[in-house]
Structure 1
């Protein structure tokens, strides 16, 4: 059919589905950016009709060309030549209405399309003749058949009137029920199908987030005015019934107790339904290490109580995992690491993990507790052997048992530490974002640093809380993350009789745009030790600042109280703060200017006894499916003698 170009016409073929007018070949230059058409030509063979495909008439319209390419059978099968000329002609005839629909969907409602095959024109009202097929067949095995898609896109049509109506009354919604900002299409915008589909999705999301699980968004046939080159659009919305969450079922478990999965579902029967509620179920269940995939299926109808039943389908991960790594540090030297884990030890998603880390310390000569660096020495070997056990959902509750133990020989430029430590704790999950933990800890160790050697024992009662509303663990774009801990200790041997170590860190993330391409992120941390003195607290328990997770630009643990000889001893309190702007330049590349500050102090509170140290820098991010790869270069400000002029850091994930 042919659309009337002189008066307003109501097209009844479905939204943005058009027709084609015959266009004679013109001398338009072929448009072929990036080799999308014509560059990857097929080889000429005796048993196939290979063809050379070009598109003409789309100069400077790369977005329209992409739409044409996406629907074109000729393009998609260009490397699979047909066996006969008749098959090639059928491809061309099938392409014409597809290409016209793509042009209408791009806002070109007066488009004219034809395809020239072997010098013969094919159009909707001009089907291929027998001579066309014969001409094509005569080129088989001799030469590529020239195929040209001839397009006259015509002017770009724009929306004139855009209306969103309540289908139940055929009247506009009250702004309180549907704010105007939900639908961003406005008069004067290009009349593109993609924008209409996006508006329909936004409407559906809006009402689903307001507990309407069965919202339906339709549209009336558009009214197209070819004289004015405008389109009138009417979207019809039926919100459907408001509903809460009904019964929640669990399926797919084979070796994991379903009660464990249920304990990680925080939604309750009768809670308001929303997309966020469904996403929260999926995210919280995925935290179970034995679970690999989570799918939340919504019911197709409301139950007898007017609520929406939900089914949580899970798939389980392999029971065992083993891994390892080899690394080298210019500060610490070579190191090996290996680990083994079982994700479902007794059928209740119990996780047992064993880690081994071994390294050879190559720090400076005459460091505390080490050798003099003359050849290989066993005193320079350090490492850690640890085991951790997690029993989630004790008796089907939201209480988890955590048991950790390790033996460690820690070697740094500041101190050496030999430690045996064990901790047992109960964690209660109030929600997916908030939990508290209480336990008991024991440690026996020996610490050697510039202040002397200390043999000690500790018995502690650690208490901790975590609140995390961020959306991504390695690359958060919104939310708040707060962790706090306080542990009172009884000391034995050279340790103080009683002291308390506490620490709190908070970070926040704010997106400046809807696409989260620019994020402002900030972090602040505070630590304090009450009781005892610096000389009595084991060196590994004191506070230090500096390094990639602290004040970038300064060496690791290089900031804090010092002896008269300038050696860092560690402090009784800590203050750190960071701010950075995470700016995506492309979907995979970003830059991050940042500013850090911090210091460790001799007193139990940051009292200004030492000046804050500052650093600034610029980071590069490469975004992957796992998380961003971070490369930061930082420069200490007001650098002092002996401090390095810069430092760089490479890791997976953001700095905080």
Structure 2
């Protein structure tokens, strides 16, 4: 195209030469002819000749070249008449519209953005060479989705005023599927085991959802790296991927992948030494070394070791510490020794902490979560903790912390905290469904960052067949500069146990108002203290358990409580929804004080720990113990009893039915509760990279016991009275809210226990 344009320009120049060849002349005027859309002033601005200049052959050639270079014109001619230069141009057409037909795989806007990047966009001058680029760009987009049979045809339709309509007719065709993946050269491991490291796969029962059976160059590159990591983590230091071949069937519907590898020998670690400037006691750094002599070499352990040593030095201000592992291979003995060279660099301190991106949130709200202080030595642990605390606020979509060196210094860095804010206010109307409560309607209005102050305000309504809650709450998380929080609550809570089959019938209606304080002990421990006043109205029925009617007859149906709540919690989990490591411990006490007619206490303890078994498998161990009783000679109110059974305690049994029962076989709850769970979490087969879906296999145990009553068969705790179940469960964070369901089979049950194999909850049920 460039060659053709140059040839045309030269032809015009040579054709124009006789006009000016006789004699140069002074330009008296310049006229432009043939323009339709382009302004005459635009043409004048590109001409290297002005009125009063002397026109020569050289200037004629330069003028034609300059006008062609604009890209606005497909033909340019110059003539001279009595000192007047006449510029005659033929404009290129402009693009009026761009239309794409047959598009299903992409949105029109996304494809048009890609076309614009190639230079083809509405309002621009049409260059036919760009049509080829545009077709290639569209083809590339479809190839990335595995649609290799796509057909694209462009059409130009002339319009008035020298404009054209561009239309791309697309026949998408079907996506090509990976029909076969072969690994050649493997001897130590079976091909089936190696293919488990690949995200790319042949068509399966879930690939319609994951699309992992569609070829992607980027995905295959990730798979090759995963294969390399698999071998290096098992001692094959000389492993190499020799070549990768990808072929497509003649009908462009099938993809065949072959990966050729050389495994090499397996190496064991013979020695690990430290060298360089360690600055901290060598014995302390040696404790961070996870790769040991005599073990098969594992790259992930070596990486973990160098990172741990670097982080340890970073905690003492060495922000740019570098730990380099130098291997020494003995190919005859098939061993490798490592020398870890430690270069701490210069110790640095923080000059400024800068906050950006917070257009709504006040600067102080961000800064009070930052644990790295200005003027102090750089501390990597505190910077990571600052990032975690800012993420836990829930005010930001993204938190990015950078530590650039201060220009002109060698021992200073700035801490730049960049945040991307998200909406923190919400008005929600929703519905959930629980196998125990049925349909649950909910609505809430909340703002977790009122006027950018970090204060939280919410009003909530949840309506279920068992629990109905109306609540208004306000929390100031930094009532004091030390992080003491202050909150207020107003609520009404109705409980209708008549909706639960096999549970003693009663109703309660409770109004309450309270104040609460939260006191952070350290970064992981939190103590809370609250005081609440409640009024409770009780309703019993003719079929209610005798224990319930006896309580109402003795203490009346209307009671009040001055309730003191206190708790201590420690949470080191790395995620709220899908944790893979860490623990959560909680000790709580609820006391009905002598200030009210109901006087009692309830104590509970929970210990939950997540233990990573591998990259994909996590073991969760959970234990809960609760005990309660009345005070001042009064019994524990029956509606304060503990219950067990159901999706949140012992699955496979109906909600709240494990433990003491009345003469009719209805569950009464108890003043003691024991629950234990062991659960292994893992990705759903075929969806190992899906962060919204997780599966588990579990064993549950638990029951309630007491109170000391002549009608109660389970007065005191005994291991023989625990119920056990086992099964599988799935948790899916769906667009409608969290969906949790389980399929469980009771292993040990007692007479009168009610089994319920399938249980589920959709949405947030309160």
Measured against the shorter chain, the TM-score band is 0.5 to 0.7
1:614 aligns with 2:715: no
User: Does the 8 Å contact 1:55/1:151 carry over to 2?
Assistant: no
Secondary structure of the corresponding residue to residue 623 of structure 2: strand
**Residues 297-349 of structure 1: CA deviation (Å, up to 9, x unaligned):** 23436999968653433332214212232234555443311112122223312
TM-score scaled to structure 2, two decimals? 0.56
Structure 1 residues 397 and 620 mapped into 2: Cα distance closer, same or farther (>3 Å)?
Answer: same
Aligned to 2:617: 517
Shift of 1:582: 1.5
Aligned to 1:529: 629
Secondary structure of the corresponding residue to residue 392 of structure 2: coil
1:389 aligns with 2:474: yes
Secondary structure of the corresponding residue to residue 209 of structure 1: helix
Aligned to 1:502: 602
Give structure 2 stretches of 5+ with no counterpart: 1-142, 155-175, 201-214, 219-224, 499-504, 541-547
**Residues 17-51 of structure 1: CA deviation (Å, up to 9, x unaligned):** xxxxxxxxxxxxxxxxxxx99x975468999xxxx
Secondary structure of the corresponding residue to residue 657 of structure 2: coil
Ranked by relative contact order (alpha carbons within 8 Å, sequence separation 6 or more), the top structure is: 1
1:31-50 map, 5 Å: 42=149
Shift of 1:631: 2.1
Aligned to 1:592: 697
Aligned to 2:73: none
Shift of 1:357: 2.1
Shift of 1:385: 1.6
Deviates more, 1:444-453 or 1:383-392: 444-453
Secondary structure of the corresponding residue to residue 206 of structure 1: helix
Distance 1:162 1:632 in 2: 49
Aligned to 2:560: 457
Structure 1 residues 290 and 175 mapped into 2: Cα distance closer, same or farther (>3 Å)?
Answer: closer
Shift of 1:523: 0.9
Structure 1 residues 199 and 420 mapped into 2: Cα distance closer, same or farther (>3 Å)?
Answer: same
Out of 30, 52, 59, the position equivalent to 2:184 is: 59
Structure with the bigger percentage of helix:
2
Structure 1 residues 615 and 274 mapped into 2: Cα distance closer, same or farther (>3 Å)?
Answer: farther
Secondary structure of the corresponding residue to residue 722 of structure 2: strand
Distance 1:333 1:44 in 2: 52
Shift of 1:187: 9.1
Number of corresponding residues: 530
1:638 aligns with 2:742: no
Secondary structure of the corresponding residue to residue 419 of structure 1: strand
Structure 1 residues 439 and 152 mapped into 2: Cα distance closer, same or farther (>3 Å)?
Answer: closer
Distance 1:557 1:187 in 2: 51
**Residues 529-551 of structure 1: CA deviation (Å, up to 9, x unaligned):** 3315676x554333333333334
Distance 1:326 1:110 in 2: 52
Shift of 1:398: 0.6
Out of 321, 330, 344, the position equivalent to 1:215 is: 321
Distance 1:336 1:113 in 2: 55
Give structure 1 stretches of 5+ with no counterpart: 1-35, 70-74, 79-97, 117-141, 190-194, 362-381
User: Does the 8 Å contact 2:724/2:749 carry over to 1?
Assistant: no
Structure 1 residues 507 and 630 mapped into 2: Cα distance closer, same or farther (>3 Å)?
Answer: farther
Shift of 1:521: 0.5
Distance 2:288 2:312 in 1: 16
**Residues 42-79 of structure 1: CA deviation (Å, up to 9, x unaligned):** 468999xxxx9999995365769999x9xxxxx9689x
1:145-544 map, 5 Å: 156=264, 168=276, 176-179=284-287, 181-183=289-291, 199-200=302-303, 202-211=305-314, 212-218=318-324, 236-241=341-346, 248-266=353-371, 276-300=381-405, 310-329=415-434, 331-360=436-465, 383-394=468-479, 396-413=481-498, 414-449=505-540, 450-451=548-549, 452=552, 454-476=557-579, 477-490=581-594, 492=596, 495-496=597-598, 499-511=599-611, 513=613, 515=615, 517-531=617-631, 538-544=637-643
Structure 1 residues 113 and 434 mapped into 2: Cα distance closer, same or farther (>3 Å)?
Answer: closer
- Which entry has the higher C-alpha Rg, 1 or 2? 2
User: Does the 8 Å contact 2:725/2:748 carry over to 1?
Assistant: no
Deviates more, 1:314-323 or 1:613-622: 613-622
